[in-house]
Structure 1
Amino acid sequence: MKIKLPVLLAAAFFLLPVLSNYSEVKAQARTTVEGIVYHDKNGNAVYDSKEDDPLEGVAVSNGREVAVTNRKGEYELPLRNDAAIFVIKPRNWAVPVDDENVPQFYKMFSATGISGTKYEGLEATGLLPESVDFSLSPSEEPDKLKVLVFGDTQPRDDKEIYYMSEEVISELVGVDADFGVTLGDVVFDDLSIYDHLIGSLSNVGTPMWYVAGNHDNDYTGNNSTEARGTWFNKFGPSYYSFTHGPAHFVVLDNIRWIVEDDDRYYRTGLGEAQMEFLKNEMERLDDNQLLVLMAHIPYEGSTPWYDEAEKQAFYELIATHPNTVSLAAHTHRHYHHFIDKEQGFPGNEPHHMISMGTVCGAWWTGAPDEYGIPHTMMSDGTPNGYAFLNIDGNSWNLKWKTAGVPENVQMHIAAPDVVSAEDDAFKVIANIYNALPDADVKMKIGEDGSWMEMKRVPQKDPVRLTEKERENQLGEVPWRKMGGDADSQHIWEAEVNQNIEPGVYHIQIKSADDWFTYEGKRLVRIK
C-alpha cells in the first residue's frame, strides 16, 4: 500500500513534539555526563574527529569525583546538579581564556538556576550537550615558574577600582609572570562591579585564576550554593585544580554560608563534596610534587571553623603530602604561620601557611597622597601590595612587592630623628614585611659601627601608630581614617647603648633567611 507524501508529512509533524519530549525526558533523566578532552588544533573550541587529537590521561571532575580520559580522550562522571564539570589542566597544556583573561575550563549545570535575590546569579543552564568536551592547546611549561599573587582586591565601588588600577595594575601591565591568582574577596559585597574589576585585571596580560571569598557572597542566598550564584555566573566553579609546570594547584572555597532563622553569617569550612574532591586530587599526585593550596581564609588565627572535626580531617589529609604550602588572605595582614602539632596538624613537619597581605591594604583607608590614593597601610604595618610565588621544581619561595615603590623596599624602620649625645640610648624597630620568623637580623650605626643582633618581638607597628595619631588629630576629613591595629609578626628591635660622637649617621639593618636577604637604612642625628 502506498502512503501519500502529504500523509507522511502530517504524521511527521504530529510526531516531532512527541519525539522531542521523549528526548528531553531522556536527557533530563541522565545520571552521568561524558565527553572528550582534545587537542584543539584550529582553536575553534569545537571537537572535530577528523582534525583534532583526543588526549589520554587528562583528569576531569564534577567537583567530587575525578575521572581520567582513556586513549580516545573520553571520560564519564556522575552528573551533579548545581555543580560544574571541569577539566583539570595538565602540565604543558593550556585551557582557553576569554577576552578578559579568565580561564574557560568548565561547564556549569543547574536544572533550576542558582542565585540569591539581590544579584544576577546563574540561570538554569538547560540540557547539557550529549558530549561535554574540553579543548586544550600545547603550552611549554619549564621547571621554573613565576606566579603573581593578589590578596584581597576588595573594592567597594568603581572609585576603589581606580585606586587599584592606578597604584597596582599600572605597574603590572605586561608583567613577567606565568599566570596570576586572586585569593578571594575579589570585591567588597557589591557584586555588580565584577565586570569592571575583571576588565581592569585583564590588563595585566596573563591568565588570572580566581579564589572566592566571603565578600564575594550574595548574602541573600539561603545556603552556600545560592550565595555563590553570581560567582558561578562570572567565574565558574568556586573550587577546582590545575597543574602548571612542576606544581599542582588546588583552589579551595573555604567559606561556609550559614542561615539560621534571622541570622546570616559565615564560618571556615569545606563541606563533604569538596573534601572528597581534594582527597581524590591528592591521590593523583607524585610523592614529592609541590602542592599549592589556595584559599581565602587562613586555617588558624582567623574565622572559626564551622566543624572542628572537618578541620582535623583536612589537616590529616594534607599531612599525607608533606611538600604542600597554603596561600590565604582575608586578615589584611601579611605573615607566615607554621601550623604544628599543638594546633592539631599531624605531619612530621609543620605546615607552612602564608596569610597574604592585600592589594587593597586596609580597605583603602588612611590619608590620601598627592594623587588622591589612600596610603591604606595594613593593621600590622605592612604597606599594601602583592607577591610573586617563585617555583623551581619542587622548591618555592614568595617575594613581597609593595605597591608603587622599588622592589628592594622590604622594610621600614622606626627610630628617633634626633638623640642627645648625653643620653644616647635609644630603640630601633624594623618591620621587615616578608622576613621568615627565624630570620637573622642585625643592625649597626654608621659605617664604622659594630653589628648587633636584633630580636623578633611581635608588637604593634610604631610607624602605623604614629600615622594613626596624626590622622586622628585632623578632626573630620572627607576620607576614611585608619582602623584597628594588630600585632605584627615581623618586627625586630634592638636597644642601642653606645657612646656615639655627635653627627648624622645612617642606621643600617640586614635581614637574612632561607629565602632572601633584605637591607634597609634610615638616618639618625646624635646632637
Structure 2
Amino acid sequence: MQRRVGWWIVLVCVVVLWANLAGAQETFQGVVFEDANGNGTFDVGEKGIPGVCVSNGIEVVQTDATGRYTLPVRNEMVVFVIKPAEYTLPVNEKNIPQFFYVHRPNGSPDFIQEYKGFAPTGNLPVSVDFQLLPGQKTESFKMIAIGDTQVTDHREIGYLRDSLVKELQGVDASFALMLGDNVNDVLGLYDRYLTVMGEMGIPTFYVLGNHDMNYDSQNDAYSTETFTKKVMPPYYAFNVGKVHFVVLDSIIWDGKAYYGGISEEQLTFLKNDLAMVPAENLVVIAMHIPLISYMDRAAEKHQVKNREDLFKILEGRKVLFLAGHTHTLERLYPDTTIDGWSPNLPFPQIIAGAGCGSWWSGPKDEYGIPFSYQRDAAPKGYMIFEFQGNEWKETYKIYGRAIDDQLNISFFIADRVERRLKDPALPEGIFLKGDLLGVHVVANVFCDAVEVTCSIDNKETQAMTRRSLPDPMMNWYANDLPDWMRPVGSTHTFSAPLPSTLEAGFHTVTVTVKDRYGRIYQEKRLFEVW
C-alpha cells in the first residue's frame, strides 16, 4: 500500500512539472510603428500604432496602446504584420511589400539543394519590429488580379515584359495580386522575374503556386523555402478599405506529388485572424489551386480536398474566393449550373485565367508574342477589380484589346464538333445554303454574362444558351498544339442555331451581352451563304 501511494506522488509531480513548463512557454516581442521618416527604424519621436494585428503563423494578437505585441516563439516561423486599412506597407526595389520576418535559426534543411533556401538566421532579435507608412483609409479602390504567368525561361520573361507588364505600367490600381505559378519550376528565374514585374509600378502581392515549390523537399513543411526567401510568406493577410485579404497556400506536397489542400496551421491561423475582422467586411481568399473548377472537376488533385473545413470557418461571412491554376476563366457561384453540373459552393469563386494563356504557346502576333489562348479558349489577360465598401465589380481585360472587347463570335456545325473542327473553311464564315441546318452561332464571352442574345440581320432576337463548347475559331488556331493544350470546353460559351431559311448572300449576326453589373457589350460578324 505504501509503495502504491509513492507512485501517485511521483505522477502528480510529473503532471505539475509539465504544466509549469507549458505555462512558461517562450515568447518574443516587438513594436509596430509609424515610420514618419521612412528609414525603416523605430526612431525617437516616432509612435507605436495600437490595435494592429501581428501573427507568428498561427496565433494572432493586437498591439497595445504603445504599439507593442507579444507572441509565442515557434521553432521555425514567419512573423508578419497584418496591415490595417489606414496604413500602407513599405516596398523594396521590386515593388514587393515588406511586412514579415523569417525565423529559421538553423537554416533550411540539407535536402533543399537545387534552389537554395535560408542560411541560419540564429536567435530572434530582441525586438521584431514592423514599420507602417502613413496612408489614407478609403472604401473605393482598384486591384489587378493575374493568374499563372508561368515563365519557363528568359525568352518567356520577355513575352511577359512586352505584354502584361508593358500594358500595366502606370495602371490606376492600388496593388496587384499574382495568383501563383509565377514561374514554371525554374526558381532561378525569380530574380529577373520579380525585377520585371516590379516595372508595373504598383505594390505586388504574390500567391504560391505548385510550380513555385522546391521539388527536392521531402515534405510539405519545406516546399516553400525558395519562394519565402525570394518573394514572401506562403500565407498572410492584409486590409484595404472594408476588404480583408487572406492569401493561403492551397498546395500540399508529400515529397513526391502535390494535391489541393489547406494545412491545419493555416486553418488555425485563419480562424484566429478572422476573430479580429469586423463581421461586415468582405473577406477575399486568394489561393492557387481552386476550391473546385469546371475544367478539372473530375481530377481530385486539382481541387482543395478539405474545402469544407474552410467553409465552416467562413460561415456567416461575406466571402469571395480568387484562384488560378487551371488556365481557364471561370466564375462559379452557389447557383451556377453548366450542362447539368454544379460546383456546390456556398461562396462565389473566380478563377482569373492565366497571364501566360496556354503556357505561351501557339501562333505569334506581329510583336512575336504567342496568342496563347487558354484551355477554355479565353484569350490571355488579367482581371480588374473595383471595390466599393464590401461590394465588388470585376472586368476581364485581354492584352492589347479595348476594355469593352468582351466576346468573340464564330460558328460550328453540330456534326463536325467531334472532328475537333480542323476544317479551315469553317472559321471563314462561308456556308452552303443546303448545309445551314445544324450551323450554330457561338459567342465566347469573357465578362460575367447573365444574358446573351443574338439577331440575324437585325431581325428577330433569340436567346443564346450557355453550353460547354470549344470555341471553333480558337480551336482552329490551336490545331498544331498537343491535345492537353487545346480548348476542350468552357463555362462562358453560348450558342444559338442559324435559321436554315437564310437566302444566299451576305448576312450579319449581332450578339448582345449583359453582364452581372448591368453593362452591355455588343459585337457583329459578317458571314456568307452560297
Q: Provide the TM-score with structure 2 as the length reference.
A: 0.86
Change (3 A) 1:306 1:128: farther
Question: What does residue 264 of structure 2 align with?
Answer: 272
Quick check: 2:456–2:508 contact (8 Å CA) kept in 1? yes
| Cα shift at 1:363 | 0.4
Quick check: 1:55–1:72 contact (8 Å CA) kept in 2? yes
2:263 counterpart letter in structure 1: G
User: Mean Cα displacement is larger for which, 235-244 or 497-506?
Assistant: 497-506
Q: How far apart, CA to CA, are the structure 1 residues paired with 2:333 and 2:446?
A: 17
| Cα shift at 1:252 | 0.3
Question: What does residue 32 of structure 1 align with?
Answer: 27
Which of 399, 402, 407 is the aligned partner of 2:403? 407
Change (3 A) 1:53 1:311: same
| Cα shift at 1:198 | 0.5
Identity fraction in percent: 34
2:522 counterpart letter in structure 1: E
Question: What does residue 275 of structure 2 align with?
Answer: 283
Question: What does residue 61 of structure 1 align with?
Answer: 55
Q: How far apart, CA to CA, are the structure 2 residues paired with 1:177 and 1:307?
A: 30
Change (3 A) 1:275 1:340: farther
> Where in structure 2 are the equivalents of 1:42-121 lying within 5 Å?
42-48=37-43, 50-114=44-108, 116-121=112-117
| Cα shift at 1:225 | 2.4
Please list the CA deviations of residues 130-181 of structure 1 after superposition, one character each: whole Å capped at 9, or x if unmatched.
0111111111132111101110111001110101111211111101111001
1:509 aligns with 2:501: no
Question: What does residue 9 of structure 2 align with?
Answer: none
> Where in structure 2 are the equivalents of 1:221-232 lying within 5 Å?
221-232=217-228
Q: How far apart, CA to CA, are the structure 2 residues paired with 1:340 and 1:498?
A: 34
Quick check: 1:114–1:225 contact (8 Å CA) kept in 2? no
1:427 aligns with 2:440: yes
2:80 counterpart letter in structure 1: F
| Cα shift at 1:292 | 0.4
Which of 451, 457, 475 is the aligned partner of 1:440? 451
Question: What does residue 169 of structure 1 align with?
Answer: 165
Q: How far apart, CA to CA, are the structure 1 residues paired with 2:84 and 2:99?
A: 12
The residue matched to 1:429 in structure 2 has which SS? strand
1:451 aligns with 2:461: yes
Q: How far apart, CA to CA, are the structure 1 residues paired with 2:358 and 2:233?
A: 28
1:272 counterpart letter in structure 2: E
Question: What does residue 475 of structure 2 align with?
Answer: 465
Q: How far apart, CA to CA, are the structure 1 residues paired with 2:380 and 2:232?
A: 28
Q: How far apart, CA to CA, are the structure 1 residues paired with 2:141 and 2:359?
A: 30
Quick check: 2:56–2:77 contact (8 Å CA) kept in 1? yes
The residue matched to 1:277 in structure 2 has which SS? helix
> Where in structure 2 are the equivalents of 1:354-433 lying within 5 Å?
354-415=350-411, 417-421=429-433, 424-425=436-437, 426-433=439-446
1:525 aligns with 2:517: no
1:428 counterpart letter in structure 2: V
Q: Gapped runs of 5+ residues in structure 1? A: 1-28, 473-479
| Cα shift at 1:99 | 0.8
Change (3 A) 1:151 1:135: same
Q: Gapped runs of 5+ residues in structure 2? A: 1-23, 412-425
Q: Provide the TM-score with structure 1 as the length reference.
A: 0.86
Question: What does residue 18 of structure 1 align with?
Answer: none
Quick check: 1:211–1:252 contact (8 Å CA) kept in 2? yes
Change (3 A) 1:58 1:361: same
Q: How far apart, CA to CA, are the structure 2 residues paired with 1:247 and 1:175?
A: 21
Cα RMSD (Å): 2.3
Please list the CA deviations of residues 397-425 of structure 1 after superposition, one character each: whole Å capped at 9, or x if unmatched.
22101112111211111135123456655
| Cα shift at 1:343 | 8.1
Q: How far apart, CA to CA, are the structure 1 residues paired with 2:305 and 2:289?
A: 17
User: Mean Cα displacement is larger for which, 513-522 or 209-218?
Assistant: 513-522
1:418 counterpart letter in structure 2: I
Question: What does residue 152 of structure 1 align with?
Answer: 148
Quick check: 1:269–1:306 contact (8 Å CA) kept in 2? no
The residue matched to 2:379 in structure 1 has which SS? coil
The residue matched to 2:254 in structure 1 has which SS? strand
Change (3 A) 1:414 1:307: closer
Quick check: 2:152–2:183 contact (8 Å CA) kept in 1? yes
Change (3 A) 1:113 1:486: farther
2:448 counterpart letter in structure 1: A
The residue matched to 1:162 in structure 2 has which SS? helix
Q: How far apart, CA to CA, are the structure 1 residues paired with 2:224 and 2:304?
A: 23
* Count, aligned residues: 479
Quick check: 1:189–1:217 contact (8 Å CA) kept in 2? yes
